């Protein structure tokens, strides 16, 4: 005698096992931050190269300009978000124990926030002359 579940279609058997939609947003955000990082890294390198050999006061004055500070803040935020997303994928793929996986993803998020906040604080402090 056949059980009720053997009569179900493949779609019916997997329905209700979890959403397949959340990965799409993660995928696109990682790609968008990757493209943004290419552009922002080029801007970052141009700024750093222009400051080679210049005195400290010139570097501070350059980083104090609004458009430079905004570019550096965008570079920092985009880099931190991209770093968090990339490490999250690695953690989810390679950490097998569920509790450790959850703790590692949480630690990864806190680390990315701490790095981003520290960089943003330093940039804002320089930008506003504090």
**Residues whose CB is less than 8 angstroms from the CB of residue 29 and which lie 6 or more positions away in sequence, other chains included:** 81, 85
Q: Would you give the DSSP letter of residue 91? A: H
Residue 4: per-residue pLDDT: 55
- For the segment 4-30, the average pLDDT, to the nearest whole number, is 73
- 18 vs 75, which has greater pLDDT? 75
CB neighbours of residue 97 within 10 Å: 9
- Mean pLDDT, the chain, rounded, equals 90
Residue 130: per-residue pLDDT: 64
pTM for the structure as a whole: 0.79
Whether residue 3 is predicted with pLDDT greater than 60 in this model: the reply is: no
Q: Distance (Å, rounded) from C-alpha 118 to C-alpha 116?
A: 6
Q: Distance (Å, rounded) from C-alpha 33 to C-alpha 104?
A: 22
Task: Tell me the domain boundaries of the chain.
Answer: 31-127
Helices vs. strands in the chain: H and E counts, helices first: 5, 0
Residue 21: per-residue pLDDT: 59
CATH top-level class of 31-127: mainly alpha
- For the segment 36-59, the average pLDDT, to the nearest whole number, is 96
Q: Distance (Å, rounded) from C-alpha 64 to C-alpha 126?
A: 6
**Residues whose CB is less than 8 angstroms from the CB of residue 108 and which lie 6 or more positions away in sequence, other chains included:** 84, 87, 88, 91
- For the segment 72-88, the average pLDDT, to the nearest whole number, is 97
């Amino acid at each position: 005698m056949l059980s009720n579940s053997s009569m179900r279609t493949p779609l019916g058997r997997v329905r209700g096992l979890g959403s397949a939609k959340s990965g799409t947003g993660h995928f696109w955000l990682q790609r968008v931050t990757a493209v943004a990082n290419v552009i922002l890294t080029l801007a970052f390198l141009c700024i750093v190269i222009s400051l080679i050999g210049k005195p400290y006061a010139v570097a501070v004055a350059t980083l104090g300009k609004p458009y430079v500070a905004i570019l550096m803040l965008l570079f920092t935020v985009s880099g931190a978000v991209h770093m968090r997303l990339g490490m999250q994928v690695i953690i989810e793929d390679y950490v097998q124990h569920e509790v450790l996986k959850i703790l590692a993803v949480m630690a990864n998020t806190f680390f990315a926030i701490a790095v981003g906040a520290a960089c943003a604080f330093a940039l804002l402090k320089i930008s506003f002359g504090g």
